[in-house]
Structure 1
Amino acid sequence: MTTIGEALVSLLERHGVDTVFGIPGVHTVELYRGLASSKIRHVTPRHEQGAGFMADGYARASGRPGVAFVITGPGLTNTITAMAQARADSVPMLVISGVNALASLGKGFGYLHELPDQRGMMEKVALSSTRVESAAELQPAMDRAFALFRTGRPGPVHIEIPLDVMGKPATLLKPIEPVDLPEPDHAAVVAGARLIAQAVRPVILAGGGARNAGAALTILAERLDSPVVLTANARGLLHGHPLVVPASPSLKSVRTLIGAADLAIAVGTEFGPTDYDMYADGGFVFPTNLVRIDIDAEQLDRRPAFVKIEADSRMGLQAILGTLSDRAGPSGTSDGEGRAEECRQAARAELARLGPALPSQLEAVEAIRNALPGALIVGDSTQPVYAANLYYDHDRPGGWFNAATGYGALGYGPPAAIGAALAMLDVPVVCLSGDGGFQFTLPEIAAAVEMQAGVIFVVWNNRGYREIEVSMRDVGVEPVGVSPAPPDFRKIAEAYGMPYARVTTAAELASQLRITAERPAMIEYRVD
């Protein structure tokens, strides 16, 4: 006899899932019945929030949904922070939880892990929350979840199975029908191509939704001789290209470039304030002449645009390219490379004016990139990550991501880096975290050691929440609560059996990264 729990595991395999992050409990025992005999690898974090962050990092690195198994009640609520981060950054994540027996739900009897309305709570965070109450409901729920990941703006999806349903007999599974992305509207594409062909000084704004569209994005930029401004989640696209501007639109120099354009083409960007108005100064002026490509209809409706193309970024750009004439523009006077170079120089110079420490923080990030070409750098909310989000050209599409934009969950870096490393076994992975944020999820490094996940943990140790301290002083507030004492990181590394090194310069950091043959490892970067 096959149970619903076993059928669930079989469906995960059919949908291409090879890894599940979770902490088993008495409320999920039946979900684990089929795991041991499956090909799915199970990774045990040290906290359910870590399970969610690992699933997030796995999804960003692999492009496939990250999956977490958690118990009802506290297991699920511990995962909410990670789900909210995934929602903000459009990361496909499937969270499968238990829930108490059907007859007890909503009654308030006081059962273990009871919540008044677990699914109602999850509907506020997840794209959808579904309860499977019978065998016949299992496969439709799973197929809908994976269809959401493939056909729309992705995010977290929740499925719960009651304790007294998991072990029931399962019905025969049906073949999974392929789900195709919707084609972009032809009339919208033609209208967009017409505007683009008329532009003399265009600019392209690429967000995280364009990460899978690098080839088409490059072709369009070169056809139009257009600078390409990358938000933080788009870094790695067009690396080193003369048209790339790997700088935040929160910088005045980038805003000047955008403001001087006669057309903006926005691809896969939500125009979020953490990308376009980080300092909340209201200085970003929304482009009036705008062609916008986004997979989410609701997102398109949130901002005005002359032409809105609802489509996956790659498909939308390919449709535009197929409609454009071979001529780059009406007069060929864009001077895109010159405009991009001028903006890059101005943006880099602007960093030093914003804060004297920013250039040295950026230097540390560039040292990681140069020491480990093609690495994934997974960041937490820490000063060098803030600096690089303002200006940094990564060398791998999708290889630079962090929690310092959007939802901004502190402690994201270590578990997300572990998930990324388990997704990309042959790629170097560096976790860049501050000493404060690292302590949020420090126990998760045990999972890295246990699974031999290839992560080098670089801890930027400035002995506290330095960014918050600076913010307090800037507005005349006496700093309070911003100096949590860090542990002895050498002893932490020794306790987990990890190689350890301490550095104080970017050059030393690069050297240690090159000689760290044994992974996982820890490098503490001491900051005065």
Structure 2
Amino acid sequence: MDRNGGDVVVETLTALGASHVFGVPGQNALGLFDAIRRSDLTFVSSRVENNAAFAADGYARATGEVGVLFLSTGPGALTALGALQEAHASGVPVLVIASQVPRAYLGLRRGALHQLDDQARSAVNVTKSTALAMNSGQLPTLLADAWSLAQSAPAGPTWLEIPQDVLLEPADGPPVTSVHTAVTARAPGDDVVAAAAARLDAAERPVILAGGGVRRSPGGSEALVALAEALDAPVVSTVGGKGAIRFDHPLSAASWIEDRYTTELLAGADVLLAVGTALGEVTSNYHTLEPAGTVIHIDAEARVLGANHPALSVHADAAQAVSALAQRVTRRDSDEGARIAADLRTAVEKRLAAQNLDIERTLMSDLRRAVPAAAQTFWDMTIAGYWAWSVWDPLDGEFHSAQGAGGLGFAFPAALAAAMGTGQRTLAVTGDGGAMYSIAELATARQHDADVTWLIVDDGGYGILREYMTDAFGQATATELARPDFAALAESFDVPARIASAATVGAVVEETFGTRGPAVVVLPAHLTMFSAT
């Protein structure tokens, strides 16, 4: 058959370097999905669009590539928005290609199936840009521009709509074999770098707070370590910043951000250098952080600069700004920073030891021993995940969580997509409440034989909300849940499943890393959070 608009899309994506596409087929998008059949792209068929968006997000985080998401019109497009909020909040590059009703229907109420008055307007809050292709000749450039913008600092989702008839009509142009991209990384101004370096040189107690922007910025981790060593400054990692500096580095103060000792360290710095973080709710220990000294704030997203605390603002890509600072500051000959970092970690350990947290601490340590050092792990909004925010050491792997937007259901679809993208087994950890958001993706994992281990901590409800409400009101409401036999349900999808105990869960999870294909481990357990005060 003749090439059509759908073919132009997949040709362009191939030329851009895409290899995997995530989504759910739909009526207006059939031309797009049919074109995949004539391409080398691997299509991963999710069961729910929100999970497909989480999958594209997880794929991008794990591989460093752009996650590509195909959506159909109306209900399909809208269903993905919750997951796209996470990618947008966390700065993850995702290219969304959504179908539209035929061009003759745009802006009119003609009763077209799936039609919205303004579909793109629904996506504005969770994307960096939206665009509409009105003919197939526009597609290569629009796709290349969206691809570039998705990766340009600050990274995030971009959205391109293509009407049904554009996807189906014959394409006039030649096959697309090459496209031009223009990914930009924002460089810092020389004057503000000089001012920041002068303040750091004058500091007696500098502290660095490393956010997710450092991890995502190419070369950011290396530049961060170089600057920390030059300043002899302890480094606290945010949840998203885990791995920006190894926990076994002498200057690492780990990531106990929900802890008063860490908050005191950050607040007591005479110069606090915050890089690649909004200093938001979780990072600021729920807005209890009140810096006493100067704040130097580096971020590629201008809107977060100084939003929570007055700061010397450096609007720049993290790696470029930190690298520039590392070259300008005066190197110190001291080991005070390492002592401060070690003292903080000792203080946190003593405080935890005084609490009745043996089950929770043993679970985290058993899982850490069970999971290979290089494995990528994905954590849902659940008590085990909240523990991992603080305690989990990524070692040689990467830590991924949904704390950007805080929605449920992220971990499993993101982990299975990451496993497919990297060829390495991943771990997903959810509660039973969050598991029900993505339970249908057991079919996806089985269909694609994804090497993913899914640990479901089953406490019979929304455990963290139960704890919050009980603390606030004396009792919880609407947190208790009827749920399936997760192990039996997994087996019905032909996915091997085991029920573990607190004593055996580490060994059971470890066994799955010697197998192929998806595996489910269910841990019936009631976990509690540590006290941060």
CA distance in 2, matches of 1:251, 1:422: 36
What are the superposed Cα offsets for residues 485-504 of structure 1, whole Å, 9 maximum, x if unpaired?
A: 22112211211222222222
Tell me the SS of whatever aligns to 1:183: coil
1:245 aligns with 2:266: no
Q: What's 2:429 paired with?
A: 432
Letter of the structure 2 residue corresponding to residue 298 of structure 1: R
Instruction: Say if 1:429 and 1:455, in contact at 8 Å, map to a contact too.
Output: yes
Letter of the structure 1 residue corresponding to residue 366 of structure 2: A
Q: What's 1:171 paired with?
A: 173
CA distance in 2, matches of 1:176, 1:108: 38
Q: What's 1:416 paired with?
A: 414
Letter of the structure 2 residue corresponding to residue 495 of structure 1: S
Instruction: Say if 1:361 and 1:383, in contact at 8 Å, map to a contact too.
Output: no
Q: What's 2:37 paired with?
A: 36
Specify which of 255, 276, 285 is matched with residue 263 of structure 2: 255
Structure 1 position 334, deviation (Å) = 6.4
Instruction: Say if 2:266 and 2:291, in contact at 8 Å, map to a contact too.
Output: no
Structure 1 position 10, deviation (Å) = 1.1
Q: What's 1:200 paired with?
A: 204
CA distance in 2, matches of 1:351, 1:234: 23
Specify which of 301, 316, 319 is matched with residue 296 of structure 1: 301
CA distance in 2, matches of 1:406, 1:124: 14
Map 1:429-508 to 2 at 5 A: 429-505=426-502, 507-508=503-504
What are the superposed Cα offsets for residues 241-274 of structure 1, whole Å, 9 maximum, x if unpaired?
A: 1211222433210111112222111111111112
Tell me the SS of whatever aligns to 1:322: helix
What are the superposed Cα offsets for residues 407-447 of structure 1, whole Å, 9 maximum, x if unpaired?
A: 11111111111111112113x31110111110111010111
Q: What's 1:131 paired with?
A: 132
What are the superposed Cα offsets for residues 276-333 of structure 1, whole Å, 9 maximum, x if unpaired?
A: 133xxx42114541222212233325355553332222222221122234x22xxx56
CA distance in 2, matches of 1:420, 1:366: 24
Map 1:6-17 to 2 at 5 A: 6-17=7-18
1:509 aligns with 2:505: yes
Instruction: Say if 2:239 and 2:389, in contact at 8 Å, map to a contact too.
Output: yes
CA distance in 2, matches of 1:81, 1:205: 28
Instruction: Say if 1:268 and 1:313, in contact at 8 Å, map to a contact too.
Output: yes
CA distance in 2, matches of 1:511, 1:406: 31
Structure 1 position 352, deviation (Å) = 6.1
Q: What's 2:391 paired with?
A: 391
Q: Which shifted more, 293-302 or 514-523?
A: 293-302
- Structure 2: gaps spanning 5 or more residues: 527-533
Q: What's 2:519 paired with?
A: 521
Specify which of 180, 187, 193 is matched with residue 189 of structure 1: 193
1:232 aligns with 2:236: no
Instruction: Say if 1:369 and 1:395, in contact at 8 Å, map to a contact too.
Output: no
CA distance in 2, matches of 1:45, 1:287: 49
1:320 aligns with 2:348: no
Tell me the SS of whatever aligns to 2:498: strand
Tell me the SS of whatever aligns to 2:36: coil
Q: Which shifted more, 291-300 or 23-32?
A: 291-300
Map 1:348-367 to 2 at 5 A: 348-351=349-352, 356-357=356-357, 360-367=359-366
Q: Which shifted more, 102-111 or 298-307?
A: 298-307
CA distance in 2, matches of 1:49, 1:9: 22
Calculate the aligned-residue CA RMSD, in Å. Answer: 2.0
Tell me the SS of whatever aligns to 2:473: coil
What are the superposed Cα offsets for residues 153-196 of structure 1, whole Å, 9 maximum, x if unpaired?
A: 11121111111211232434563144342432222222222222
Letter of the structure 2 residue corresponding to residue 369 of structure 1: R
Structure 1 position 348, deviation (Å) = 3.5
Structure 1 position 139, deviation (Å) = 2.3
In the superposition, the TM-score normalised over structure 2's length comes to: 0.91
TM-aligned CA distance change 1:170 to 1:152, over 3 Å: farther
How many residues are paired up? 515
Instruction: Say if 1:462 and 1:526, in contact at 8 Å, map to a contact too.
Output: yes
TM-aligned CA distance change 1:179 to 1:474, over 3 Å: closer
What are the superposed Cα offsets for residues 84-135 of structure 1, whole Å, 9 maximum, x if unpaired?
A: 1111111111111111112212222221111121112222322111111123
Instruction: Say if 1:500 and 1:523, in contact at 8 Å, map to a contact too.
Output: yes
In the superposition, the TM-score normalised over structure 1's length comes to: 0.92
TM-aligned CA distance change 1:351 to 1:406, over 3 Å: farther
Map 1:86-105 to 2 at 5 A: 86-105=87-106
Letter of the structure 2 residue corresponding to residue 216 of structure 1: A
Map 1:44-123 to 2 at 5 A: 44-123=45-124
Instruction: Say if 1:288 and 1:305, in contact at 8 Å, map to a contact too.
Output: no
